[in-house]
Amino acid sequence: MNHRPGHTGAHLSSPARRPPQLVCPAGSLRALQMAVEAGADAVYLGLKDATNARNFAGLNFDDAQVGEGIRYAHARGREVLMAVNTFADARDPTPWWQAVDRAAALGADVLIAADVAVMAYAREHHPGLRLHLSVQASATTWEAIEFYRQRYGIRRAVLPRVLTLAQVQHIAAHTQAEIEVFGFGSLCVMVEGRCALSSYVTGQSPNTAGVCSPPSHVRWIESPAGVEARLGDVLIDRYAPDEARGYPTLCKGRFLVDGERDYAIEEPTSLNTLAILPQLVEAGVAAIKIEGRQRSPAYVAEVTRVWRSAIDQAAAAASRYAVQPGWTAQLSRWAEGQQQTLGAYERAWR
């Protein structure tokens, strides 16, 4: 199979870097097709159940759609990565084993997993299936990634969005696994795979049920003070009649702290790493991931086109690379809260 140029081999330590693979989201078959047409090297998807961390109604794939998507992508030389990236239920892990079997049987190129039990099952029963460590595993050191590589044979690790550029560079330089980082999309301010906020309020965790702020618990209530957004009985935000409303999540709600109402943890914003793309390439990052399986096919297509252009420009002439105003304008249309940030990359977090 002839894939688009991308860093899909072993970790490189030489100065000559291959351009990172562009990995794009597919919450539907249409989104998958549009991502491929817009220039994605690979797409990632999940099944219509709790085995993947974007288990929302109306999203994801059944077996027939996975098969059609894989055929479509492979015919155009692209890869399909299947996310089985929630943690298996200890009372009955059968659905997770079956999801791994389905990924292998349907011809997925990669299994993205977080649970060591899922990885162990995949390695034992489907040794030819390439394993990537999900961001849900929350591996933030090269030692942790090397453990997963040596014990379970993972070939790539997706880093959480809480690391500085120096930390990413250090990890990439010290592990034999490939490194994948998020390039654009909703910014998760928690340590992914460890967040218990939704579970605390609703009893459903994104780490096991695949849902952050489950729709069944989201309530919009008209009140004299404005429109209230609640998760269960917890008031997350209150909006004026003409104010734009975001999907209510606890980490991005506005709360009273010392008498001041504001975003207590993080305000709605999207991560955008176009400005540091050359540094990520130089660090040896193997793949740039676009977040957004819950977003529209139009979002997927436009964001993919921007990043395809950026990666191609950086690969052709890194010394002359510059973020184009048109790229910024296009991405601004899709940014959460119409704001963009470098997130932890520009903060002195340790």
Taking only the tens place, the pLDDT of each residue in 43-82 is 999 999 999 998 888 899 999 999 999 999 999 999 999 9
Stretch 181-194: mean pLDDT, rounded? 82
Residue of higher predicted confidence among 257 and 338: 257
Confidence of residue 344 (pLDDT cuts 50, 70, 90): confident
Pairwise CA distance, residues 53 & 132, whole Å: 15
Taking only the tens place, the pLDDT of each residue in 287-317 is 999 999 999 999 999 999 999 999 999 998 8
List the strands of the sheet with 218-223, edge to edge: 218-223, 226-231, 234-239
SS3 275: helix
69, 26 contact by CB (below 8 A): yes
- Taking residue 315's Cβ as centre, other Cβ atoms within 10 Å add up to 17
Q: What is the pLDDT of residue 207?
A: 84
Amino acid at 125: H
Look at strands 226-231 and 234-239 and give their pairing: antiparallel
Taking only the tens place, the pLDDT of each residue in 89-135 is 999 999 999 999 999 999 999 999 999 999 999 999 999 999 999 99
Q: What is the pLDDT of residue 349?
A: 46
**DSSP code string of 115-141:** -HHHHHHHHHH-TTSEEEE-GGG---S
156, 180 contact by CB (below 8 A): yes
Q: Which H/E stretch holds residue 23?
A: strand 21-25
Q: Where are the beta strands (DSSP E) in 156-257?
A: 156-158, 178-186, 218-223, 226-231, 234-239, 254-257
Q: What is the pLDDT of residue 10?
A: 39
Residues with Cβ within 8 Å of 118's Cβ and at least 6 positions away in sequence, in order, are: 84, 88, 96, 100
Stretch 13-21: mean pLDDT, rounded? 69
Q: Helices 297-316 and 325-332 meet at what angle, rounded to 10?
A: 160
SS3 88: coil
- Taking residue 196's Cβ as centre, other Cβ atoms within 10 Å add up to 11
SS3 100: helix
Q: What is the pLDDT of residue 242?
A: 82
Q: Which H/E stretch holds residue 79?
A: strand 79-84
> For residue 5, is pLDDT > 60?
no
Cα dist from 18 to 2, 11, 37, 87, whole Å? 16, 11, 22, 33
User: For the chain, what are the domain ranges?
Assistant: 21-187+269-346, 203-263
Q: What is the pLDDT of residue 189?
A: 67
Q: Which two tokens stand for residue 349?
A: 């977090």
> For residue 12, is pLDDT > 80?
no
> For residue 195, is pLDDT > 90?
no
Q: What is the pLDDT of residue 241?
A: 84
* Percentage of residues in the chain having pLDDT higher than 70: 93
Q: What is the pLDDT of residue 348?
A: 55
Instruction: Look over the chain and give the mean of its residue pLDDT values, rounded to a whole number.
Output: 90
> For residue 233, is pLDDT > 50?
yes
> For residue 14, is pLDDT > 70?
no
Q: What is the pLDDT of residue 57?
A: 84
Residues with Cβ within 8 Å of 282's Cβ and at least 6 positions away in sequence, in order, are: 17, 318
Residue of higher predicted confidence among 268 and 143: 143
Pairwise CA distance, residues 20 & 288, whole Å: 6
Q: What is the pLDDT of residue 309?
A: 98
Choosing among 3.20.20.70, 3.40.50.150, 3.40.50.10540, 1.20.1250.20, the CATH entry for 21-187+269-346 is: 3.20.20.70
Q: What is the pLDDT of residue 59?
A: 92
Q: What is the pLDDT of residue 186?
A: 84
Residue of higher predicted confidence among 229 and 339: 229
Pairwise CA distance, residues 77 & 190, whole Å: 35
Beta partners for 341? Answer: 271
Stretch 168-193: mean pLDDT, rounded? 90
